[in-house]
Amino acid sequence: MQKAYKIRIKGIVQGVGFRPFIYKLAKEEKIKGIVLNDTEGVIIYAEPGSKPMDSFIEKIKKEKPPVSIIDSIEISEKNFEGYKTFSIEKSRLTDRRAAFIPPDISMCADCEEEFFSKADFRHHYPFITCINCGPRFSIIKDIPYDRINTAMDAFPMCSRCRTEYEDPENRRFHSQPNACSRCGPQLTLYDSNKNPIIDKDAGRIAEFTFNKLQNGSIVAIKGTGGYLLAVNAEDDDAIKRLRILKGRAFKPFALMCGAIDTIEDFLHVSEKEKELLLSRERPIVLLRIKKKKVSKLVAPGLTYLGVMLPYIPFQHHIFSLEKDMVLIMTSGNISEEPIAYDDEDAFGRLKNIADYFIAYNREITAPTDDSVMFAIGDEAYFIRRSRSFVPVPFKSVTSKKHLIATGGDIKNSFALAKEDIIILSQYLGDLAAPSGYELFDKMFHHFQHLYDFSPEAVIADMHPGYYTTKIADKLEAEGLKRINVQHHHAHIVSVMEEHKLNDEVIGISFDGTGYGTDGTLWGSEFLISTRRDFLRAAHFDCFPLPGGEKAIYDVWKTGISLLQKAFGNDIPLMSKENNKDIILDMIEKNINSPLACSIGRIFDGTAAILGISRSISAEAEAAMLLEEAAIKGCSEKIKKNAFVIPYSDSNTITVSTSALIKYIVETINKGYTIEETAFMFHASIARTTVEIAGILREKYSVNRIALCGGVFQNKLLLSLIRESLTNNKFDVFINNHAPLNDGSIALGQIAIGKSLL
């Protein structure tokens, strides 16, 4: 009796060339049957004749398309139908929606070669793509992943593209975004008043853009997930204008270079950093400056620049006109608002920034900022997880309920849990902006539809003033069960979830501010943590935060508070600060001066005490400049001067913030430079961290350490702590697939929620 099999494959297996791959493999293995997409993934009906199925299944696992991810392969016997050939059938709907959506991918080498070939009919076509590259997540409207369910539905294929699409030997076989200049999307160049200047002629648009950028113009270019603002990175005047118009006084701008050789010419690039830059994801990577090439205004006072390589055809086109050109490519927004991706919205919000707009007539269904990463040694870490990485799921324990976690207010991402997967959304930005709040709502409903998601419980931060708390309030009012989670516990559990840690860990969460269980603002936490609960084992002691969380920007107020706690009202170093007495009075009378123990705020205050920053325009600006000073003052000789900050010998260890500040002042008084003092500050926190970790290891018999929190974006501090912990034989775990900052909060919230429900 002849055998027949039903093979169900789940994972990221739609939009990545999986059906064409199965088709070709079945032909090689002389298997008859069909393959198709449905709302659960890919299904194969295979009749192998007298041959065993082992070889076919093994080749599926080993030779699968490079962008695909197989989560499971289920094989069952079925009735023999007597298929005569093997074919790709039309997609079907089932009663379950479990298919995963692939992320957007940079242009592949084959398409790049065709793009620049004058003999190819897609020469300079800005939407050239194939089964191995191009937009996916940013154009999808529904599953299964068929053209009708994407933004490409508005562009019927011409006969030439249709022939490729139906040819099993062509790499555009069943490539849903397949198009050419005859039938696909087109570029249009506009002025800032939306008057068209050049329509459809990509070559002329590229040349016009290149010339305008060389002459100081700001150009808004619609990319994969939204608009980017392009500026010549060597033009001081243009960058000054961009900073003023965008409302971005300090925060560094991302760069784009046309080739890895250009990057290596002026930036230090390690093997790991090169691997990230050249990867198909093409993230922004933070690299240390080797020599001056771009304006100092790109990243004022910083020695690290964020840079990426082109990932869409039009970007490649611009850089082909000048190999060594370096451009700013920053998100098309104002200040901390979400990226503009809808054309009308972009022209409205960016009209007073951009001189010209390059748009195209295809909808972006899901906006994504560029992802941002950095590397230390062989390890890579996320600052922002978005384009090319979202919505790749996290595998998890099976959830009894559908859960949503609302995340944090800054650098927001939300998360959904369904069955054995967690989907962490793209970076959405700061929810304080109305557009951020609106984008959260839109993307939540988009994900809800795509994944057939019906939330039964909501997990939120316990901070009463967060915008995400309001979102959770609304969902609770609609009948969802509500769980509130402490901010830093969520940070630590995000590491546990990512690394599949189920036993207790020593969680070290160094962060900005998070609402604590005692009503104070935490952020220097040593937690003995499980997925369900935690014990606060150690932290830095508290100090007043005059003005509350607004002191995040007026860091001089935090500096005065730290000095007052250490020295009383007769403060050193900042004694001539204007309005000093007002702040001292606020502290003494406890007027809007909540207690905080945040390492982030200690960094801010120390930067103010050392005269590095007074007020800032962007979150973590003072801390970044303090790190820069420390890098300049770094030496093994100075490192030996680092001391262990005194701490209490009590049930909950309290590190003396005042002793640290006294040490800083004493160091300056001894004649050490600002840079050397900044380095000793970093080294002392690192040394103290490791000593306390050792005490907790002995006390609680825990050797695993999880590090998470926005302060660990400080490359110097992370390096010092990680290296020393490793040398002291700790097992150290850090997020590699979720951001170190609040972008990981939702992942931890979901994992905690799963453990409690």
3-state secondary structure of 15: coil
Q: How far apart are CA 456 and CA 704, in angstroms?
A: 33
Nearest to 461 by CA among 428, 498, 431: 431
Q: How far apart are CA 51 and CA 74, in angstroms?
A: 19
CB 589 within 8 A of CB 607: no
Nearest to 466 by CA among 696, 260, 745: 745
How many helices and strands, by DSSP H and E, does the chain display? 22, 30
| Residues with Cβ within 8 Å of residue 479, at least 6 apart in sequence | none
Residue 364 CA: distances (Å) to CA of 136, 154, 361, 582: 10, 13, 10, 50
Nearest to 462 by CA among 406, 502, 538: 406
CB 494 within 8 A of CB 744: yes
Nearest to 170 by CA among 131, 134, 126, 129: 131
Q: Which helix (H) or strand (E) holds 513?
A: strand 505-515
Q: How far apart are CA 507 and CA 530, in angstroms?
A: 9
> For residue 6, how far is the Cα from the chain centroid?
38
Structure token pair of residue 173? 């076989």
Structure token pair of residue 299? 């990243």
3-state secondary structure of 691: helix
Which residues are catalytic, by number?
Answer: 19, 37
Structure token pair of residue 78? 């079925």
Q: Which helix (H) or strand (E) holds 417?
A: strand 415-418
Q: Where are the beta strands (DSSP E) in 168-318?
A: 187-191, 196-199, 219-222, 227-232, 255-257, 284-288, 304-308
Q: How far apart are CA 294 and CA 254, in angstroms?
A: 12
Backbone angles phi, psi at 197, to 5 degrees: -110, -50
Q: How far apart are CA 72 and CA 62, in angstroms?
A: 14
CB 394 within 8 A of CB 381: no
Please return the burial class of 636, using the count of CB atoms within 10 Å of its CB with bins 0-12, 13-18 and 19+: exposed
**Alpha-carbon dihedral of residues 320, 326, 332, 333, nearest 10 degrees?**
180
Q: Which helix (H) or strand (E) holds 46?
A: strand 41-47
**Taken in order 416, 374, 303, 213, is the CA torsion positive or negative?**
negative
CB 744 within 8 A of CB 450: no
Which residues lie across from 284 on neighbouring strands?
A: 372
Q: How far apart are CA 254 and CA 286, in angstroms?
A: 9
